[in-house]
Amino acid sequence: MVAEQIRRELTGQTYLIARMVKEASTIEHRLVDLHTYLYDGFGVDFFPRHTTTANIKQQAREELAKKTEEHVVTTMTAKIEQLCLERERNSLRQQTRQEIIEEQAAEAAREAQEEAHQAARIREWEAVFKSQARRVFQFPEVKNTFRTIGNPANSIPNSLQKIPS
């Protein structure tokens, strides 16, 4: 994906360079025509005597190549840095998501452990309560009281049943 994006960028840069070369060539031809016109017509030479048309063209090409190379290097460096930063951000996002998932899993495990611990305590207390209840029900007074509660006719104590009206 990164290679494809860089290839597309280079293709775009190549097109831009070709356009700049064409513009430079046009400017170069105009400059040479202007120089010829001024030198031939008026004797004005705005280039040093030792400079020829070929030298002017060569200097223009070198300058254009240098600027184009700097532009491409700067642009591609910026694009590569941007892609690296984007990849790093995505990595951090993924890492953050993973940390959140791990925290949620740890929290769920703690809650499950706490619930299991509470269930164990409840079972423990139930066992204690049942054993205590067995002991209590062994006493005759308690057995008789619960038998009385179970039978509605016997639920009122004899002393209360004999109260005169």
- pLDDT (0 to 100) of residue 152: 54
Please state, in angstroms and rounded to a whole number, the distance separating the CA atoms of residues 80 and 55.
37
Task: Between 157 and 60, name the one with better pLDDT.
Answer: 60
- pLDDT (0 to 100) of residue 4: 74
- For 132-144, how does the pLDDT look when each residue is reduced to its tens digit (9 = 90+)? 777 766 766 666 6
Angle in degrees, 0-180, between the axes of helices 2-42 and 53-137, rounded to the nearest 10: 160
Q: Among 44, 22, 23, which residue's Cα sits nearest to residue 35?
A: 44
Q: Which two tokens stand for residue 54?
A: 């070929």
pLDDT band at 95 (very low <50, low <70, confident <90, very high): confident
Residue pair 35/46 in contact by the 8 Å Cβ criterion: yes
Please state, in angstroms and rounded to a whole number, the distance separating the CA atoms of residues 73 and 70.
5
Q: How is the chain split into domains, by residue range?
A: 2-111
pTM exceeds 0.85 for this model:
no
User: What average pLDDT score do residues 77-103 get?
Assistant: 86
- For 3-54, how does the pLDDT look when each residue is reduced to its tens digit (9 = 90+)? 677 767 777 777 777 777 778 778 777 777 776 776 666 655 555 555 566 6
- For 112-123, how does the pLDDT look when each residue is reduced to its tens digit (9 = 90+)? 999 999 999 998
Please state, in angstroms and rounded to a whole number, the distance separating the CA atoms of residues 108 and 114.
10
